A = this chain, B = another copy of it.
Amino acid sequence: MKSPLIQTISLTPPSLQDNTADADRILNALKARLNTDALDIDFDLLKKLPHILRKSNYNARCILLKDRCQRVLVEVTDASDTRVIAGLAIDLGTTRVVLHLLELETGRTINESAFDNPQESIGPDILARIHFADQTGGLKKLNDLIIKALNAAIFNLCRDHQLEPQNIYALSVAGNTTMTHLFLGLDPHWIIREPYIPVVNSPGILRAQTLGLEVHPRARVLIFPNIGSYFGGDLIAGILFSKISQNDETAILVDVGTNAEVVLGNKNWLIACAGAAGPALEGGVTRMGMTAGPGVIDKIEIDPDSLEFSIHTIEDLPPKGICGSGVIDLAAQLFISGMLDIRGKFVPAACGNRLKEIDGILNLVVVPADQAATKADLTISQTDVDSLIRSKAAMYTILETITASVGLDLNDLTTFYVSGTFGSFINPGSAISIGMLPDLPLERYKPLGNSCIAGAALALTSDKYLDQIDDIRNRITYLELNVNQEFMNRFSAAKFLPHTDPTRFPSVKPWRKKCCKSIF
């Protein structure tokens, strides 16, 4: 598939009978080809246009990007030019920034990279950074940190593939509302203060140069719009990639992170909500919790008869910690094997000598010191499990509330997308076992991976996606969860394994009767 952004065109050379200006000549030909009047030329390109046209003998390769309200011609080269014309998609995460370099003409990914958001040196979360931005020079410092880090990453991405940053003509940036403000150098002060007002929802398409990005000086940057202070462009990018806003079928998309962000809908309507799911789901809950990496436990099985633990680590290295999907697996297996009861409390009779009291709190040894890379017990405490249960209850309640708000039942959902750098690795079976996700047939669950970066990359390949982005933003209804009493009732009911109403989870069959009969 050739992208419409790049056009090769042969012009009739000027004559006394046809002496229109160079700019008109090329724009008229492109307008006819593309059947549009909304086409302009970048002013700076005019400076070299006469030379290129004559040197190329009026056979030109053109790069056309979408500007705010029209297409704009940003580059003209000789038609025989085979230089790669690159695009760059940016997932601007609070913690991690991901870049995809792609070939604009085909959409093919050339290279990828990621780095920790350097604003973490100011503060780990949005709140800390917004407070820092209130200080003199604070906003500029936060802005400089991210722009400089992006420029360094762009330089490296290109160098690895013998490209120049000048080859990059189109960029897209998707981040939450605060990250987007800091990236643009806009004051985030009011985002966290009642009534929670961003400076702008739709920054639109800007010149990369204005933002300090060291790419082609005529490059344009699409900024994914946000819906409000708590629903950012990263989610719009995810919705774009999932295509739920384009389909007849009603589907649900869940982005699992510190917040659980949920969108439900189809081509006729879209409803969204976001709620704090807590750090438990990201593996940040336990002392041994960490992001996925070599030696990190990502899967656990517990034999229901012998209660032996089978532990899988990334790259099969000695275990040094556990990631979010591993924690969910662990909790599910502990519950199914009878080592956790329906309240999420350790069952001493089943846990046996794995249970230890540390500082007055019960801890379960997942990996004994002699098998751990750290040479210390890897444990999960009762407090950790309690926290995980609040998080999974929040997630389930959010799903239940948004679905009920449109008169649907969770069982009606035929496609359930799970995205997020961590979310995509969740074992849906385990998430169902602890009552975090509804008890749907497993084939309905579809991991999307990092849907934010995928959506950002998609947006670069054709300007039809710009209309879809606007459409998503304009159609979405945001459901405010925090002011909902029914939510609190549902939340209380969901704070059990898998739920106070086990008929909702017919597939979850704990083995507790068999192995823990002495207790019941």
A residues neighboring B (CB under 8 Å): 14-16, 18-24, 38, 40-41, 43-44, 46-47, 49-51, 68-70, 184-187, 189-190, 194-204, 206, 210, 228-229
Residues of B within 8 Å of A206, CB to CB, are: 43
Is B14 a contact of A50 with CB atoms below 8 Å? no
Q: Which of A19, A21, A198, A204 gathers most chain B CB within 10 Å?
A: A21
Residues of B within 8 Å of A43, CB to CB, are: 184, 203, 206, 210
Chain B nearest CB, measured from A279 CB (Å)? 27
Known: A68-B40, A69-B69. A50 touches B15 (CB 8 A): no
Contact of A21 among B16, B40, B198, B204 (CB under 8 A): B198
23 contacts between A and B (CB under 8 A): A14-B195, A15-B195, A16-B196, A18-B195, A19-B195, A19-B197, A21-B197, A21-B200, A22-B197, A22-B198, A22-B200, A24-B200, A24-B202, A38-B69, A43-B203, A43-B210, A47-B185, A50-B187, A50-B189, A50-B197, A50-B199, A68-B70, A69-B70
Residues of B within 8 Å of A195, CB to CB, are: 14-16, 18-19
**Distance, CA A24 to CA B195, complexed state (A):** 15
**Distance, CA A90 to CA B14, complexed state (A):** 31
Chain B nearest CB, measured from A182 CB (Å)? 13
Contact of A46 among B20, B41, B47, B184 (CB under 8 A): B184
**Distance, CA A46 to CA B139, complexed state (A):** 14
Q: Which residue of B lies closest to A51 (CB)?
A: B187
**Distance, CA A24 to CA B202, complexed state (A):** 8
**Distance, CA A19 to CA B177, complexed state (A):** 14
Residues of B within 8 Å of A14, CB to CB, are: 195, 197
Chain B nearest CB, measured from A68 CB (Å)? 6
Report the 10 A-B pairs with minimum CB-CB distance, sorted nearest first: A23-B200, A21-B201, A21-B198, A16-B195, A19-B195, A69-B69, A14-B197, A14-B195, A21-B200, A15-B195
**Distance, CA A439 to CA B46, complexed state (A):** 47
Q: Which residue of B lies closest to A18 (CB)?
A: B195
Contact of A20 among B19, B38, B47, B201 (CB under 8 A): B201
**Distance, CA A47 to CA B184, complexed state (A):** 9
**Distance, CA A44 to CA B209, complexed state (A):** 13
Q: A19-B197, A20-B197, A47-B187 are in contact. List 12 more A-B contacts (CB 8 A).
A: A14-B197, A19-B228, A20-B228, A21-B197, A22-B197, A24-B201, A24-B202, A40-B69, A47-B186, A50-B187, A50-B199, A51-B187
**Distance, CA A187 to CA B46, complexed state (A):** 9
Residues of B within 8 Å of A199, CB to CB, are: 21-23, 46, 49-50
Chain B nearest CB, measured from A47 CB (Å)? 6
**Distance, CA A228 to CA B23, complexed state (A):** 12
Residues of B within 8 Å of A187, CB to CB, are: 47, 50-51
Q: Which residue of B lies closest to A190 (CB)?
A: B50
**Distance, CA A43 to CA B43, complexed state (A):** 18
Residues of B within 8 Å of A190, CB to CB, are: 22, 50
Chain B nearest CB, measured from A130 CB (Å)? 13
Chain B nearest CB, measured from A206 CB (Å)? 6
Q: Which residue of B lies closest to A200 (CB)?
A: B23
**Distance, CA A22 to CA B16, complexed state (A):** 53
**Distance, CA A20 to CA B89, complexed state (A):** 27
Residues of B within 8 Å of A24, CB to CB, are: 200-202
Residues of B within 8 Å of A41, CB to CB, are: 200
Residues of B within 8 Å of A228, CB to CB, are: 19-21
Is B196 a contact of A19 with CB atoms below 8 Å? yes
**Distance, CA A40 to CA B47, complexed state (A):** 27
Residues of B within 8 Å of A69, CB to CB, are: 38, 40, 69-70
Residues of B within 8 Å of A196, CB to CB, are: 16, 19
Chain B nearest CB, measured from A151 CB (Å)? 19
**Distance, CA A187 to CA B49, complexed state (A):** 9
Q: Which residue of B lies closest to A69 (CB)?
A: B69
Chain B nearest CB, measured from A517 CB (Å)? 54
Chain B nearest CB, measured from A272 CB (Å)? 15
**Distance, CA A185 to CA B47, complexed state (A):** 7
**Distance, CA A400 to CA B229, complexed state (A):** 69
Q: Which residue of B lies closest to A48 (CB)?
A: B187
Known: A22-B200, A194-B16, A198-B21. A186 touches B46 (CB 8 A): yes
**Distance, CA A16 to CA B47, complexed state (A):** 50
Chain B nearest CB, measured from A57 CB (Å)? 15
Is B229 a contact of A19 with CB atoms below 8 Å? yes
**Distance, CA A365 to CA B202, complexed state (A):** 75
Chain B nearest CB, measured from A259 CB (Å)? 18
Chain B nearest CB, measured from A464 CB (Å)? 20
Residues of B within 8 Å of A15, CB to CB, are: 195
Residues of B within 8 Å of A23, CB to CB, are: 199-202
Residues of B within 8 Å of A20, CB to CB, are: 197, 201, 228
Q: Which residue of B lies closest to A187 (CB)?
A: B50
